[in-house]
Amino acid sequence: MPKALLLENIHPDAAQSLRDHGFEVETMKGALSEDELIDALDGVDLVGVRSKTNVTARVLEARPNLSAVGCFCIGTNQVDLDYAGKHGIAVFNAPYSNTRSVVELVICDIICLMRRIPAHTHHIKHGVWDKSAAGSHEVRGKTLGIIGYGNIGSQLSVLAEALGMRVVFYDIEEKLALGNAHRCATLNELLEQSDAVTLHVDGRKSNTGFFGEDQFDHMKQDAIFINLSRGFVADLDALKQHLDSGHLAGAAVDVFPVEPKKSGDAFNTPLADEDNMILTPHIGGSTLEAQESIGHFVSQRLEDYWFNGSTSLSVNLPQINLGSCKGVCRIAHLHANLPGVLARVNHVLGNENINISFQSLATEGELGYVVTDVASKPSTETLEALRNIEGTIRMRVTN
């Protein structure tokens, strides 16, 4: 019976789906350290994580029999994708499943900050009745600057326009503007005209410290700042300085450079004493609807890979979308992208007079992936010959 380990309180539907497909499933609520993860992966075929558990090269090297990693979230920067790919470990994520949840929280943060809800709440909790319109604004007619116009940024653009906001965006890649959104040629162009600035950039290492003192300095007087993307992209010390000076009117932060491993752990931030501030514990995509959707989506990718060899929507392997086997068995052969591998595979099969019922090949970068359904079961010698083809990384045989 194959074994799966799901960490970080992944939605129970994911575990149930894997169990329904014949997996023995162990679940854990919290994240694990590198050493703890190595120990926990003993005998495990598939592992599921969210954003707190780092699946490093050291972890993968220690557990070479691991077949796949499921990231039950948008990001995959917590996994060493290059090492995983070169050693035949597929990685899957859920790039769209919690988009709406993140967008709704951004909209909520914008409205609350524009109306100074956090400040008013703080005052009334401390016995001060401060009924005043000072500093409170409607969002209608204000300019929203979106940095990163991907799945989340573009959907946010549509909802913000529905609220009557003017939308500008900046992205290093060419993106089609939706509705009446306007693309800015430079980041500073966006910052200098936006009443609200929100970050939606990915987790690549080059984005570390992306938004710092210079960027905050270019923002409009009394603008608000929102970060629901990655904790390491924004300089929170610089943010605090611009809030304390009165330059910025408020901020919402959902992600932090260093976060606790599990719920209930202690956490402190110097931003806690700010007046018009929303602080949330990395819950941008944490709605029941989103987590259920992610649980279904990623578990299905893992099941399709384990049983069918399908790499559709994998983030680190050549992608082939596969259904059930069209022969007696299926041979999935991952290899270095060298000339002639497909010919060698077919030559080995031909030597045993094995007919091919179906075959598909995909290559991406340094990797190649050929899947072959055969009409008769290969001998042990034939399978060994396939494994010995130059450049072979991993080979799996399924019925």
Express each pLDDT in 251-296 by its tens digit. 999 999 999 888 889 999 999 999 999 999 999 999 999 999 999 9
Beta strand extents in the chain (DSSP E only): 3-6, 24-27, 46-49, 68-71, 90-92, 143-147, 166-170, 182-183, 196-199, 224-227, 250-253, 277-279, 329-336, 356-364, 367-374, 392-398
170 or 207: which leads in pLDDT = 170
Please state the rounded mean pLDDT for residues 171-183. Answer: 95
Measured distance CA(381)–CA(349) in Å, rounded:
11
Question: Same domain for 237 and 139?
Answer: yes
194 and 159 inside one domain: yes
- The rounded mean pLDDT for the chain is 96
> Which range of residues forms the domain containing residue 196?
99-279
In sequence order, which ranges of 92-140 are alpha helices (DSSP H)? Answer: 99-114, 117-125
pLDDT of the residue at 387: 97
pLDDT > 90? residue 358: yes
Helix (H, G, I), strand (E, B) or coil at 179: coil
Q: What is the CA radius of gyration of the chain?
A: 25
Same domain for 200 and 340, yes or no, is: no
Residue 157 phi, psi (nearest 5): -55, -45
261 and 301 together in one domain: no
Tell me what pLDDT residue 104 has: 97
Judgement on whether residues 201 and 239 belong to the same structural domain of the protein: yes
| DSSP output for 231-300 | TTSB-HHHHHHHHHTTSS-EEEE---SS--SSTT-----GGGG-SSEEE-SS-TT--HHHHHHHHHHHHH
Q: Could you tell me the two tokens for 62?
A: 């220690």
Specify the residue for token string 């956090």: 118
Per-residue tokens: 227: 């970060």
pLDDT digits (tens, 9 = 90+) for 132-163: 999 999 999 999 999 999 999 999 999 999 99
Over pLDDT 70: what percentage of the chain? 100
Q: Tell how strand 329-336 and strand 367-374 pair up.
A: antiparallel
Torsion of CA 4, 231, 156, 73, to 10 degrees: 0
pLDDT given at position 202: 87
Half-sphere exposure of 269 (CA within 13 A, CB side): 23
Identify the band that residue 205 occupies on the pLDDT scale cut at 50, 70 and 90: confident
* Residue 204 predicted with pLDDT over 90: no
Among residues 270, 297, 317, the one where a domain terminates is: 317
67 in Cβ contact with 89 (< 8 Å): yes
For residue 347, pLDDT beyond 90 = yes
Amino acid occupying residue 244:
D
Q: Yes or no: say if 355 and 49 are a contact pair by the CB < 8 Å rule.
A: no
Q: What is the pLDDT of residues 6-65, one digit of tens each?
A: 999 999 999 999 999 999 999 999 899 999 999 999 999 999 999 889 999 999 999 999
What does the H/E/C string look like for 29-42?
CCCCCHHHHHHHCC
Residues 50 and 129 in one domain: no
Considering the domain architecture, whether residues 292 and 149 belong to the same structural domain is answered as: no
- Report CA-CA distances (Å) from 92 to 13, 75, 299, 303, 304: 17, 10, 9, 11, 11
**Domain identity same for 158 and 258:** yes
* 234 and 150 part of one domain: yes
Contact call for residues 41 and 49 (beta carbons, < 8 A) = no
Structural domain ending residue among the three candidates 230, 252, 279: 279
CB atoms within 10 A of CB 226: 25
* pLDDT of the residue at 363: 97
The yes-or-no verdict on residue 196 having pLDDT over 90 is: yes
Task: Give dist(CA 96, CA 60) in Å, integer.
Answer: 26
pLDDT tens for each residue of 63-110: 999 999 999 998 898 999 999 999 999 999 998 889 999 999 999 999
Pairwise CA distance, residues 133 & 130, whole Å: 9
Residue 237 has pLDDT above 90, yes or no: yes
Give the count of domains, the chain. 3
What is the spatial distance between Cα 85 and Cα 79, in angstroms, rounded to a whole number?
11
- What is the per-residue pLDDT for 300? 97
* Percentage of residues in the chain having pLDDT higher than 90: 93
Element (H, E) at 59: helix 57-62
**pLDDT recorded at residue 96:** 87
pLDDT of residue 264: 87
Q: Give pLDDT tens digits for 255-267.
A: 999 998 888 899 9
Residues 294, 12 contacting (CB under 8 angstroms) = no
pLDDT of residue 399: 84
d(CA 170, CA 193): 12
CB 346 within 8 A of CB 376: no
Here the CATH number for the domain that contains residue 353 is 3.30.70.260
For range 112-118, the mean pLDDT: 97
pLDDT score, position 107: 98
Count the helices and strands in the chain (H runs, E runs). 13, 16
In this structure, the answer to whether residues 18 and 131 fall within a common structural domain is no
Residues 75 and 109 in one domain: no
- Is the predicted pLDDT of residue 206 greater than 90, yes or no? no
Examine the domain organization and report whether 12 and 156 are in the same domain: no
- pTM, two decimal places: 0.83
Write out the catalytic residue numbers: 230, 259, 282
CATH of the domain at 118: 3.40.50.720
